[in-house]
Structure 1
Amino acid sequence: MPSPSDPPDLPPHLPITLRTADAFKRPPQHENLTRDSHPSNHLRSVRPGKTRMIRYFQQQGVNGTAAAALADGSYLHMAKPGFLKNPRRGSGYIDVITSGVVSDGVRLWAGGTWIGDLDVFRDAPATVTHPQIETLCETTVLRIDRDVLRSWAMRDLSVQRMIYYVLNERLGVQEMVYGLDHRPTLARVAELIHYLARRLQAFRAAPPGAPRGEEDMVVQGPTQKDLADALGLSLASVEKSIGILRTHQVIASSGKGRANRSYTILDLDLLMAVGVGHPLA
C-alpha cells in the first residue's frame, strides 16, 4: 500500500506533461552530473536521484520492476544555458527534457519531450546522428541508454505503452505548434508561447489548494529570434506579433529588444484562444 506521502496514481491516458509534474520539481544541487565525472554505475548509489527517476517512469505508467531497471540505465543532468555535452562512448542514448526549454537546431521543445531515436524495435545503426541540443535556460535532462530502453520495451507492455504516449504527444505538438497551416503569424506565435507556458505550468504544479505564484507563468529561455527560427517566420513578423500580445495585455516581458528571453503570461486562456485563431478585440 502506498504511503500518504506518495503521489497519487495518475491515469496513463493523461498528457505526458500532466503525469510528470511532481517528479522533477526543485532538483537537489548535488545531482549536477555528467557521464564523464559521474558514470551511471556510480549514480546507483545516489538514492535521491534514482528515486526521482523511478518515480518519473512510474508516472508514465511503467511497472515498478521496469521503472527501477530503466533508472539504473539512466542519469540526471542539471544543465545551464549552452550546448549539452555528448558522451564519449557514442550516441546510443535518448534525452528526456524534464524541465526547461531547449532547441534541437530546428524546433523549440519544453518539459516532457524525448529527443533521440525512439524506434527501439529495430537495431540502431552503427552510427546514430543525435541532435545537438542547446539548453536555453536552466534545464533538467534525464539521459537514458537506448539499449536498456529497447531491452525492456521488447518484453514489457508498460514500457511499450510509455513510448507510444511519448511519440503520440510529440506528433501532436508537431501538428498543433509547428504544422504548416494557414493561420496568421500572430496565432502561430501565440500557440508556440502557449505550448511552452503550458508545459512550464504542468511541471511547476503546486499542491491542491496552494496559491500559484507569478513565477509559474514566466517562460524563460528563447529569444524572439529563437521563436522566429522555430516557426520558420521572419524576425520582424514575430516582433510585431509579440508587440500585439503585449498591447492587449496577453503577455508582458521583462527586458527589451530582440535578446529578451523572458515572457510573463498575463492571460493564459486568452493566449490559447489567440493561438487557435480567435481575433483580439
Structure 2
Amino acid sequence: MPSRTYSFDEAADKLAQYISEHSRIVFFGGAGTSTESGIPDFRSQDGVFAKQQVYPHAPEIMVSRPFYDRDPEMFYTFYRDKLIHPEAKPNVGHQVLAQLEQQGKLQAVITQNIDGLHQAAGSKEVIELHGSVHRNDCLSCKKRYPLATVLESVSVIPYCPACGGVLKPDVVLYGETLNEQVIADAVRNVEHTDLLIIAGTSLSVQPAASFAQMGSQAATVIINRTSTPFDNAADAVFNHSSGLLLEAAFKRL
C-alpha cells in the first residue's frame, strides 16, 4: 500500500525507475493531462461542470444526446464555448508519451479526452474512449468532416457541405454508449501491460474505474493532484502535475 508522500524529485526518480524497468507500458489519462495545455477539466473547482454558467441548463444536460437532438443550436453554442480548444497545444506530458512510444516502451495511450493532443504530439496508438472533436459526422449522408468544418461554419449549427444535413461531433455524449470496439481495444491493452500509468483522472466514473482494476496484475502508478478511490491498491501514488512529472522522469532515464 502506498502510504508515503513523495516530493517532486522523489516522485520523478521513482517514476523513472518504473519506466526503465518495464517495456509494455500503457498510459491511461483523463482531463488532468490536458490542463497544462490550458484546457479546463470538468469536476475540479475550476472545471467546466463546477463553475457557475451563464447557460439555462446544467452542463451535464447540455452535453447529452437528448439535448443535442432537441436544441442543436444551444448545444453547439455551449460546445463551441466550453469544449473546443483549437488553440491548445500538446504539453510536455503528451510529448514524453510520444517519445516513449517511439522508443518501443509505451504500447498505447488510452484517453478520456476529446482534444486530439496526443496525436498532435506524435502518438500513434491512441485509444479515444469518448471520441474526438476532430471528427464530425453528417447524420444524413454519414460523410465525415474535420474540426475546421465546424469552426468555419457561418451558422452556429454546422451543416454538411455535401447534403445539408446536421453535423454531430464524434464525441460520446451523455445518454450515448461507448464504442464496443474501442472498449475492447482498451481492455486488451490493459490486460497485456506490465506497467499501467494512470494520470489526471479521479477514477470516479466508468470505465476508468474498471481499467484500474483490470490492471491489478501489472505494476500500477497513479499520478493525480487529488486522491482517487484506487490509491491504496496502486504500487505508487504521486500527487503532482502529470506533465511536469513525466518530463522530469523522462530526463532521468
Work out whether the TM-score is over 0.5: no
Structure scoring higher RCO (CA < 8 A, sep ≥ 6) equals 2
Q: TM-score, normalised by structure 1?
A: 0.29
